[in-house]
Structure 1
Amino acid sequence: MAKAASKNAKIKDTKAAADAKNWTKVIRTVRSEKTGAYTFKESIVHKDKIKEFLG
């Protein structure tokens, strides 16, 4: 039988979940210089840096 999680472990998980809300998966199209075809670049970016990533 598995041990129950300690109270401290539950608090750490809650803090991690709250911090995770500040991050966003951003997908940007990038055009190849050689072929002209589009590819996609995926990154996980902090919500304050999204405009810099897309700019």
Structure 2
Amino acid sequence: MAKKTVASLQKGGGKNHTKVIKMVKSPKTGSYSFKEEIVANEEVKEFFSKK
């Protein structure tokens, strides 16, 4: 899957996107997990403001 993402970003539109990683706490167990996404540069603040 990582190869597909990298290949699609190398077609020239990769500078308009950012890979973001957010740490999310599970309400049941209290443990933390990481949520990764590739979003447009304009949507980075929205990604981190969502709960």
- The TM-score, its normalising length taken from structure 2, stands at 0.72
- Gaps (5+ residues) in structure 2? 1-10
Query: Is structure 2 residue 14 aligned with structure 1 residue 20?
Result: yes
Aligned to 1:39: 33
> What one-letter code is carried by the residue in structure 1 that aligns with 2:46?
E
Which of structures 1 and 2 has the bigger CA Rg? Answer: 1
* Aligned residue pair count: 39
State, as a whole percentage, how many aligned pairs show the same letter. 51
Runs of 4 or more, structure 1, over 6 Å off, are: none
Aligned to 1:51: 45
Alignment of 1:1-20 (within 5 A): 16-17=11-12, 19-20=13-14
- Gaps (5+ residues) in structure 1? 1-15
- The TM-score, its normalising length taken from structure 1, stands at 0.67
RMSD: 0.7
User: Partners in 2 of 1:25 and 1:45 — Cα distance?
Assistant: 6
